[in-house]
């Protein structure tokens, strides 16, 4: 059984180009299935049918795994058994008929536009590292980038004249992201006045670097976001992905097409982007209840 798992993980890495983190997540799901299967006397993948896989998922729920995590495990099983069937290692796909458990819809947190302005206007650009931190925050909110995309952005990916940044997102997919005017000004100020002072022999071409000239780590960027929020007097728990959510929500509130937002965010599936329509519907309902005489 382990041979097929190893072959599948190699397939995810080489043919699908999926991240090491995703490969590890799949590996963990399949290791749990292997352990459960052997405990129940199943020594080959051919021994497992739909009933057995359903029992395995029920076993995970009984052990305390939430519905969202079970859904992820089921996705792993579906792509794994589809892989086995295509290579004629099993006669049929036992995972195909299984329906995913329903999960409660959790709307993303956002900052309102006033709080975003409060955050960005609170930074005194004359202070040390302020230009760098302002450029990071402006770019998060202007372009809706993921934390990993901010950290991996390089000078050669930046086109200041055309106002675009080329980023590589999930699944090694590359997209061009526009940079807003204020973010562009902040980035130019940082690149001309502050970054040259941070460069050392250790420095490479990452846009955002530390006082030691090394690339900023994701943990350090999270820390910067929290520190700047605290200094701005924002009580809400602020983290990089919340700025991404705010970017998408504010675009939708101002009339942007959902397909355009999908492209800007780098979502492979429109269903991932559709959660922001629920955020907007919630806002509209709140406004209606607040201002309508019979709301």
pLDDT in tens, 5-30: 999 999 999 998 888 888 999 999 99
pLDDT at 104 over 80: no
Q: What is the model's pLDDT at position 171?
A: 78
Q: By percentage, how much of the chain surpasses pLDDT 90?
A: 69
DSSP element (H, E) containing 178: strand 174-178
Mean pLDDT in the chain? 90
Q: Is residue 42 annotated as part of the catalytic site, yes or no?
A: no
Q: For 112-164, write each residue's pLDDT tens digit.
A: 999 999 999 999 999 999 999 999 999 999 999 999 999 999 999 999 999 99
Q: Is residue 170 annotated as part of the catalytic site, yes or no?
A: yes
Residue whose structure tokens are 């739909």:
50
DSSP class of 156: G
Q: What is the model's pLDDT at position 107?
A: 63
Q: What is the model's pLDDT at position 185?
A: 97
Q: Is residue 278 annotated as part of the catalytic site, yes or no?
A: no
pLDDT at 37 over 60: yes
Structure tokens at 291: 């201002």
pLDDT at 288 over 80: no
Q: What is the model's pLDDT at position 158?
A: 96
Average pLDDT over residues 223-250: 94
Strands 174-178 and 158-159, by their bridges, are unpaired
Q: What is the model's pLDDT at position 65?
A: 86
Average pLDDT over residues 248-266: 88
pLDDT at 295 over 80: no
Quote the CA–CA distance of 146 and 169 in Å, as a whole number.
8
Prediction pTM value: 0.63
Q: What is the model's pLDDT at position 18?
A: 86
pLDDT at 278 over 80: no
Quote the CA–CA distance of 36 and 286 in Å, as a whole number.
48
Q: Is residue 250 annotated as part of the catalytic site, yes or no?
A: no
Average pLDDT over residues 86-109: 82
Q: Which ranges in the chain belong to alpha helices (H)?
A: 2-14, 20-39, 50-62, 67-86, 113-121, 130-143, 147-152, 181-193, 195-198, 218-231, 240-253, 258-265, 270-273, 275-291
Domain ranges in the chain?
Answer: 2-86, 117-241
pLDDT at 253 over 90: no
Confidence of residue 195 (pLDDT cuts 50, 70, 90): very high
pLDDT at 285 over 80: no
Active site residue: 131, 132, 245, 276, which one?
Answer: 276
Which of 275, 26, 29, 15 shows the shortest CA–CA distance to 171? 15
* Range 117-241 classified under CATH 1.10.3720.10: no
pLDDT at 271 over 80: no
CA distances from 291 to 2, 112, 281 (A): 62, 19, 15
Q: What is the model's pLDDT at position 146?
A: 94
Strand order, beta sheet including 158-159: 158-159, 164-168, 174-178
Active site residue: 71, 78, 267, 283, which one?
Answer: 267
Active site residue: 146, 195, 228, 250, which one?
Answer: 146
Q: Is residue 241 annotated as part of the catalytic site, yes or no?
A: yes
Average pLDDT over residues 69-79: 93
Name the CATH architecture for the domain at 2-86. Orthogonal Bundle (1.10)
Q: Is residue 76 annotated as part of the catalytic site, yes or no?
A: no
Reported residue count of the chain is 295
Active site residue: 170, 175, 222, 283, which one?
Answer: 170
């Amino acid at each position: 059984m382990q041979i097929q798992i190893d072959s599948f993980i190699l397939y995810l890495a080489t043919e699908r180009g999926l991240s090491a983190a995703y490969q590890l997540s799949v590996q963990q799901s399949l290791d749990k299935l292997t352990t459960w299967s052997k405990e129940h006397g199943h020594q080959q993948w051919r021994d497992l049918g739909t009933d057995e896989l359903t029992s395995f998922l029920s076993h995970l729920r009984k052990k305390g795994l939430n519905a969202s995590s079970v859904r992820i495990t089921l996705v792993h099983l579906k792509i794994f058994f589809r892989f086995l069937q295509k290579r004629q290692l099993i006669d049929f796909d036992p995972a195909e008929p299984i329906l995913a458990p329903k999960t409660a819809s959790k709307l993303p947190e956002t900052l309102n536009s006033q709080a975003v302005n409060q955050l960005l206007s609170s930074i005194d650009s004359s202070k040390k590292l302020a230009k760098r931190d302002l450029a990071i925050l402006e770019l998060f909110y202007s372009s809706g980038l993921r934390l990993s995309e901010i950290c991996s952005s390089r000078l050669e990916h930046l086109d200041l004249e055309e106002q675009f940044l080329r980023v590589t997102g999930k699944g090694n997919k590359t997209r061009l992201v526009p940079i807003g005017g204020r973010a562009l000004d902040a980035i130019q100020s940082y690149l001309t006045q502050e970054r040259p002072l941070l460069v050392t022999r250790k420095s490479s071409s990452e846009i955002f670097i530390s006082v030691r000239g090394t690339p900023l780590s994701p943990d350090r960027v999270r820390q910067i976001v929290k520190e700047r929020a605290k200094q701005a007097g924002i009580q809400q728990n602020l983290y990089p992905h919340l700025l991404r959510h705010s970017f998408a929500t504010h675009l939708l509130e101002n009339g942007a097409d959902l397909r355009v937002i999908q492209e800007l965010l780098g979502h492979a599936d429109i269903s991932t982007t559709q959660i922001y329509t629920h955020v907007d519907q919630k806002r509209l309902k709140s406004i209606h209840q607040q201002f309508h005489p019979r709301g």
